[in-house]
Structure 1
Amino acid sequence: MNPKRLSQLAVPIGVVAIILMMVVPVPAGILDFLIALNITSALLIVLVSMYVQRPLDFSSFPSLLLVCTLFRLALNISATRNVLSHGYAGKVIEAFGHIVISGSLVIGLVIFAILLVIQFVVITNGAGRVAEVGARFTLDAMPGKQMAIDADLNAGLIDETEARRRRSEVTSEADFYGSMDGASKFVKGDAIAAIIITIINLVGGIVIGIVQNHLSVTDAISKYSLLSVGDGLVSQIPALLLSVSTGLIVTRASDSDDMGTVVAAQLGSQKKALQIAGGAALALCAVPGLPKLPFLLVGGGLLVIAQRLHPKQGKDGVPALAASTAPAGPSPDSAEAIMSELAVDPLELSLSADMVSLVDGPGADLLDRVRSLRRKLALELGVVMPPVRTRDNLDLPMATYAILVNGVEVARGQAPTGTVLAIGDGLDNLPGIDGQEPVFGLRGKWIGTELRAQAELLGATVVDRSSVIITHLSETVRTHASRLLGREEVSALTQALKRSHPVVVEDLTPALLTLGEVQRVLHALLEEGVSIRDLVRIFEALSVAAKSSTEPNRLVEAARLALAPSITASHLYDGRLQVLTLEPRLQQSLLESARPMEGGVQLLPGPELVESLLNSVVAQQQSASERGLRPILACSPQIRLPLRRLLSSTVPDLAVLSYNEISSNATIVDTVGVISDVRTVAV
């Protein structure tokens, strides 16, 4: 049979056999074998408990403890049946009775009582208390451990696989100590059962010997006391071993190595303590009446061991003196510690005190959504969003969150506890707090979660607090993506591209452009909401353009032209491109006002023309928005970039594309408005 299949069947078959032993008589020969198996199994469990490095490495111990306890009780029942029926329960029980009693019933009962006291009062009670406290502390520490794992994941110190493994380990640890708390009760109950079974064997055996077997009182006491004490011993020895195993498992405070190695290393690291203990043992030899040889052997042995140890040797064989002189961590007032506190997190989400439940509470999913957002934005923008540092901020008003980029607050919103945001009309009759969707500015109301179904019946869109925050965070990252793309991030993107397209990277940097110049181009693209995911096309375009000019604006326009299909596709609605165009005379005026400057070409029209242009753009965009349209502005390639800069402060959401970027695509264009000089129209 397959060994794996056999191991799967062993435990169920064993449990069924144990149950049958309680009902079906077991011959004395088989009982001897089972008793030997019981003692050996208990010894094996003790050794395994000592050699495992962590309690979780023996996670099956609680269940195994129950099975072994049940097995031992079944043996007690079988032995009791044989003692009372035949006056004989096998050679193992008889031998234990003869050795311990030594011809005296009083000695046997005293030894048996001492074993019970050791197991029941000392080991079982102590192990049970430690298991109870360990279970309580482990459960109390679970939220903090989960938050620490999430913090490491958000900080990029571990990946998703490692975080999942650690969460599973935390859960398993809580389950294990909870099971150990219950399993310790098995040991205590087993000790009580042993006392009752021994009394039954002793009293019942004497009665049966006198009444049924017609033995004298002396003979009955001698015979059945031997068997009763022998049966008690063969059951109490494995029980004592399992009690010790329970204590060893629940009192393990180190998971770095097995128990023997840890104890030897820790005791052996204290050379002075060994010397003092050895000297004290030798000093006891001077006490009149005490035997000299035992104390000489013990004291001399400790001094020899201490002499052979290196000075203050630690666990890894490294002198502790050297370790003590090793540089310690910087003090809180040191320059290093202060410099570490000066570090600014690229992206931070601050929560008011009453909003911490979104991170650490029942059903808290904010951190999981942040991780999903990082992947989504990476695929959308081509930039890996930095880890989001989530922290509580007592300075924030209640029900408020703030988003910080490079330590500067750039967005703020509200999300009252116990509410959801209902967006729509007809919500005046619902109790709640007036609010606003933070990204699109839609009017809404924060209502209690119990009113969610009622709001949906009124036709409102209902959004939970985490979704509101994640949507706001997503839009904030898109808006400030260029500020989040540092030199290190550009270097990482370049190295990743070099692994798949080495020639593309080597042709561009450092041969033609430095990493800083590449970063400026990528910044400019992100500032206009252009994804830099297609780095291959960007680098190829820059390689061609940089051979004639390294002027930043020309490089940006060359990269945009290479990305024209994806740029245009991002503005399509139902396969059509909605466009605002410039009136020809206005465009000509802007072309004539273009002047080369140090920072690139700039438009320098008169103030009246600028005002007219802005008013016309705002009016046309507002008209398009009222019709449910989101158009782009098309213009000549020569003025695209300076025109975008001119309009960015007034209409930041209006994308400006050149005719070349549009014509490179087989796109259906719908002209939804014309930007004209309002002064000319008025005349």
Structure 2
Amino acid sequence: MSKYDDIFVAIGVLFIVLLLILPISGWALDLLQILDITISVLVLLVAMYLKRAVDLSSFPTIVLVLTIYRVALNVASTRLILLQGKNFQGHVIRAFGDFVVGGNYVVGIVVFFILVIVQFIVITKGAERIAEVAARFTLDAMPGKQMSIDADYNAGIITEEEARRRREEVRREADFYGAMDGASKFVRGDAISSIIIVFINIIGGLIIGVLMHHMGAGEAAQVYTLLTVGDGLVTQIPALLVSTSSGIIVSRAASTSSLGKDILRELSQEPRALMITGAAILLLGIFTPLPTISMVLVGFLTVALGYMSSRATPRKEAEELGGSVPSGEAPHPGENVPSPGTMDISDIITTDTVEVEIGYGLIPLADRSQGGDLLERVTMVRKQIAHELGFMLSPIRVRDSVLLKPNEYVIKILGSEIAKYEIFPNRLLAMNPGMVEEKIEGIPTKEPAFGLEAFWITEDQRETARGLGYTVVDAPSVFATHLTEILREHAAELLGRKEMEMLIEGLREKIPSLVNELIPGIMKEHMVRKVLQRLLEEKVSLRNLPLIFETLIENGEKTSSISELVQKVRIALKRQISESAKSDDGYVHAVALSQALEEKLMETMTISEDRKIFSINPDLISKIIDAIASSLKKVMEKGHYPVVICSASIREAMARYVIKNIPKIQVVAYEEMADDVKLKIEEIVNV
């Protein structure tokens, strides 16, 4: 297409307007009328090959322009007919008057009115009604479609660009059917105007012929009426084609392919109906006075089509089920046909990394039309986790479940239930941060993320609860906080193969040499993923991925031990680890192990499945954990964020026990502290 297309179209529309005013010659009229027929045929064929109505979104405008074009041709042809009379040089109109209706103007008038009636009463009226209903239902369905798109986008199933494209499609569809409702009025008006123009032309021709050219009434009627009817047919046939196109477009809302494919596929999908129809036609041709040859020919062709369809149906069914049938052969009775279950096996084995199921009472929270923002909160949680952990989590699918209580939700990771909680959409959760002694009236519960004492209260209790010292949040915030903490806690499980590929591709775009040097030359991808998962287990973000890869390149050939590689990476990330361990005052407030205790633990340390563990009496390790917990509590009471610090040689094993019993506490090594960090040992544990 040319960059000057818009200029050509604008000139064409301007020419149509001028055609209403300027006189033209006979040969120019012929050319323009042939162009009208050509465009109308083209529009009809395009409409038949459309798969979706909105693929021809300019159709209402085309109808309008063609309607004006035909009116302009009517005016131009009327001017020439009335001025030239017998000497009229329009060959197209004369051909329709002489050839199509045999030169008989009475027959021409009858044919013309039949065409107008068919177009006006049958096609245009039906298309107008379909367009009106389609417009109404499309507009009614818009909120649901928009909500579905927003849900897919917020769940991460589609990208922002795809969501924008789908929203634009929904808008275009609504605009299209609304415009089609109006365009049908153009076609209807075109049919009415054609009738009026024919009568005006006939009366005007009789007056001009009799009074001005002194022709007899019969001769004037023969000349002017025949030309007028020819002109009407030239105009009405293209109008009928466009009207038919309009009906085809608005009546194919459920189609999935072109009109020809849809008709042949759907009419031949039941072979028995074809064969019974063909047999009935054959019998009527043989045993009735109806034309035998024609009836037998049509009946035989219909039976043959039904037989061929019956041969093709088993093969098509087998292909749909996942099997195959040799060409020209149908399966014999008793043969094993592939089970229908195999066609959906991918849906059965595929599980989302994270999935949230909600009861029907929580659906309004996810419905934007009802003011719900649950899906937006899920999107924000994904972005927050990506910022904190350094990798983009796979889309979180949110779906409703009839197996849950109305106000209940379940969080699943890799298909397994991790957490379940019940929230009340019309209430607020008042949480006791641990310092409020007075109870408040409400539904008692435990806050799901941190296990705090809490009460579900009404909106009018909000200020009272705040005055007592409670922290008050709404139900969607409770859900979002719970989901965030679950994702943090299970971060290592979230780094699957798909997430790993996105992580690698993201780094490859920035620093391709790092990725190409490490994978697969020095380490396999699954080994790198194990290192990253170990880091996530210990709450170390992967945001500094280039430094992690550099460290693995330096040490990957020296050792294949995941534990040793993780230790090397942690030391390389000491600046990041130090920053995450700081309290608000800029110091790292730590609880340390005594040297004697470290030596004792070092003596019991062994390697199991490439992990360092303590082979120690359970009672002793329990006492150590209790002593650490007691010391951490003292530091927290001072308003600091505490960490446990020890030597690098026992850090991994120590972290295994501490994190398991005291979640959200970091265990760091002295070697992992940056040189300029302000480290303050608050407590020393010695058992």
TM normalised by structure 2 equals 0.75
Contact kept in structure 2, 1:401 and 1:412, CA below 8 Å: yes
Contact kept in structure 1, 2:134 and 2:177, CA below 8 Å: yes
Contact kept in structure 1, 2:428 and 2:456, CA below 8 Å: no
Who is 1:390 aligned against? 398
Alpha-carbon distance change, 341 to 443 in structure 1, aligned in 2, over 3 angstroms: same
Who is 1:312 aligned against? 312
Alpha-carbon distance change, 38 to 463 in structure 1, aligned in 2, over 3 angstroms: farther
Who is 2:556 aligned against? 543
Q: CA deviation at 1:115?
A: 0.8
Q: CA deviation at 1:33?
A: 2.5
**Unaligned stretches of 5+ residues in structure 2:** 320-325, 434-441, 463-470
Contact kept in structure 1, 2:96 and 2:233, CA below 8 Å: yes
Who is 1:657 aligned against? 668
Who is 2:29 aligned against? 31
Alpha-carbon distance change, 578 to 447 in structure 1, aligned in 2, over 3 angstroms: farther
Who is 1:233 aligned against? 233
**Greater CA deviation, 633-642 or 357-366?**
357-366
For the residues of structure 2 that align with 1:606 and 1:65, how far apart are their CA atoms?
84
Contact kept in structure 1, 2:156 and 2:379, CA below 8 Å: no
Amino acid at match of 1:116: V
Who is 2:682 aligned against? 674
For the residues of structure 1 that align with 2:445 and 2:385, how far apart are their CA atoms?
27
For the residues of structure 2 that align with 1:355 and 1:26, how far apart are their CA atoms?
70
Tell me, yes or no, if structure 1 residue 580 matches structure 2 residue 593. Answer: no
Who is 1:526 aligned against? 536
Amino acid at match of 1:480: H
**Unaligned stretches of 5+ residues in structure 1:** 425-431, 452-460
Alpha-carbon distance change, 495 to 230 in structure 1, aligned in 2, over 3 angstroms: closer
Pairing of 1:170-181 with structure 2 (within 5 A):
170-181=170-181
**Greater CA deviation, 55-64 or 138-147?**
138-147
Who is 2:659 aligned against? 648
For the residues of structure 2 that align with 1:491 and 1:22, how far apart are their CA atoms?
66
For the residues of structure 2 that align with 1:196 and 1:420, how far apart are their CA atoms?
74
For the residues of structure 2 that align with 1:350 and 1:526, how far apart are their CA atoms?
26
Amino acid at match of 1:182: G
Tell me, yes or no, if structure 1 residue 504 matches structure 2 residue 504. Answer: no
Q: How many residues matched?
A: 642
Contact kept in structure 1, 2:109 and 2:229, CA below 8 Å: yes
Q: CA deviation at 1:411?
A: 6.3
Who is 1:58 aligned against? 56
Contact kept in structure 2, 1:358 and 1:466, CA below 8 Å: yes
Q: Deviations over 1:605-660 (max 9, x none)?
A: 587776454323212123124xxxx4544333344345444543665333221111
| Equivalent position SS for 1:634 | strand
Alpha-carbon distance change, 676 to 243 in structure 1, aligned in 2, over 3 angstroms: same
Q: CA deviation at 1:482?
A: 2.2
Pairing of 1:94-133 with structure 2 (within 5 A):
94-99=94-99, 102=102, 104-133=104-133
Q: CA deviation at 1:94?
A: 3.9
| Equivalent position SS for 2:399 | strand
Contact kept in structure 2, 1:135 and 1:181, CA below 8 Å: yes
| Equivalent position SS for 2:341 | coil
For the residues of structure 2 that align with 1:566 and 1:560, how far apart are their CA atoms?
9
Who is 1:636 aligned against? 647
Contact kept in structure 2, 1:42 and 1:242, CA below 8 Å: yes
For the residues of structure 2 that align with 1:169 and 1:198, how far apart are their CA atoms?
42
For the residues of structure 2 that align with 1:267 and 1:583, how far apart are their CA atoms?
82
| Equivalent position SS for 2:357 | strand
For the residues of structure 2 that align with 1:81 and 1:421, how far apart are their CA atoms?
85
Who is 1:193 aligned against? 193
Who is 1:351 aligned against? 358
Q: CA deviation at 1:668?
A: 3.2
Q: CA deviation at 1:55?
A: 3.4
Amino acid at match of 1:526: L
| Equivalent position SS for 1:385 | coil
Q: CA deviation at 1:4?
A: 1.8
Who is 2:77 aligned against? 79
| Equivalent position SS for 1:530 | coil
Amino acid at match of 1:43: V
For the residues of structure 2 that align with 1:182 and 1:418, how far apart are their CA atoms?
48
Who is 2:222 aligned against? 222
Contact kept in structure 2, 1:507 and 1:543, CA below 8 Å: no
For the residues of structure 2 that align with 1:485 and 1:200, how far apart are their CA atoms?
80
Alpha-carbon distance change, 356 to 304 in structure 1, aligned in 2, over 3 angstroms: closer
Q: CA deviation at 1:508?
A: 6.1
Q: CA deviation at 1:72?
A: 0.9
Who is 2:493 aligned against? 483
For the residues of structure 1 that align with 2:160 and 2:58, how far apart are their CA atoms?
27
**Greater CA deviation, 412-421 or 254-263?**
412-421
For the residues of structure 1 that align with 2:429 and 2:36, how far apart are their CA atoms?
61
For the residues of structure 1 that align with 2:409 and 2:515, how far apart are their CA atoms?
42
Tell me, yes or no, if structure 1 residue 624 matches structure 2 residue 639. Answer: yes
Contact kept in structure 2, 1:94 and 1:227, CA below 8 Å: yes
Contact kept in structure 1, 2:410 and 2:417, CA below 8 Å: no
| Equivalent position SS for 1:234 | helix
For the residues of structure 1 that align with 2:50 and 2:497, how far apart are their CA atoms?
47
Contact kept in structure 2, 1:348 and 1:407, CA below 8 Å: no
Alpha-carbon distance change, 464 to 171 in structure 1, aligned in 2, over 3 angstroms: farther
Contact kept in structure 2, 1:624 and 1:631, CA below 8 Å: no
Contact kept in structure 1, 2:359 and 2:404, CA below 8 Å: yes
Amino acid at match of 2:587: Q
Pairing of 1:399-548 with structure 2 (within 5 A):
401-405=409-413, 406-410=415-419, 412=421, 414=423, 416=425, 470=480, 472-485=482-495, 501=515, 504-506=518-520, 515=526, 521-532=531-542, 534=545, 536-537=549-550, 539-540=552-553, 543=556, 546=559
Who is 2:465 aligned against? none
Tell me, yes or no, if structure 1 residue 330 matches structure 2 residue 341. Answer: yes
Alpha-carbon distance change, 300 to 658 in structure 1, aligned in 2, over 3 angstroms: closer
For the residues of structure 1 that align with 2:106 and 2:304, how far apart are their CA atoms?
44
Who is 1:429 aligned against? none
Alpha-carbon distance change, 9 to 296 in structure 1, aligned in 2, over 3 angstroms: same
TM normalised by structure 1 equals 0.75
Tell me, yes or no, if structure 1 residue 247 matches structure 2 residue 258. Answer: no
| Equivalent position SS for 1:330 | helix
Q: Deviations over 1:435-455 (max 9, x none)?
A: 99987989999999xx9xxxx
Q: Deviations over 1:346-371 (max 9, x none)?
A: 42223343543454433876546645
Contact kept in structure 1, 2:49 and 2:259, CA below 8 Å: yes
For the residues of structure 2 that align with 1:353 and 1:27, how far apart are their CA atoms?
73
| Equivalent position SS for 2:665 | coil
Who is 2:468 aligned against? none
Who is 2:438 aligned against? none
Alpha-carbon distance change, 471 to 19 in structure 1, aligned in 2, over 3 angstroms: farther
| Equivalent position SS for 2:312 | coil
For the residues of structure 2 that align with 1:608 and 1:253, how far apart are their CA atoms?
73
**Greater CA deviation, 119-128 or 359-368?**
359-368
| Equivalent position SS for 1:624 | coil
**Greater CA deviation, 222-231 or 296-305?**
296-305
| Equivalent position SS for 2:412 | strand
Who is 1:427 aligned against? none
Who is 2:439 aligned against? none
For the residues of structure 2 that align with 1:307 and 1:642, how far apart are their CA atoms?
76
Identity level (%): 37
Tell me, yes or no, if structure 1 residue 22 matches structure 2 residue 37. Answer: no
For the residues of structure 2 that align with 1:606 and 1:376, how far apart are their CA atoms?
36
Q: Deviations over 1:498-540 (max 9, x none)?
A: 9964553456657xxx95x876654442222112453525644
| Equivalent position SS for 1:187 | helix
Q: CA deviation at 1:229?
A: 1.8
Alpha-carbon distance change, 255 to 263 in structure 1, aligned in 2, over 3 angstroms: same
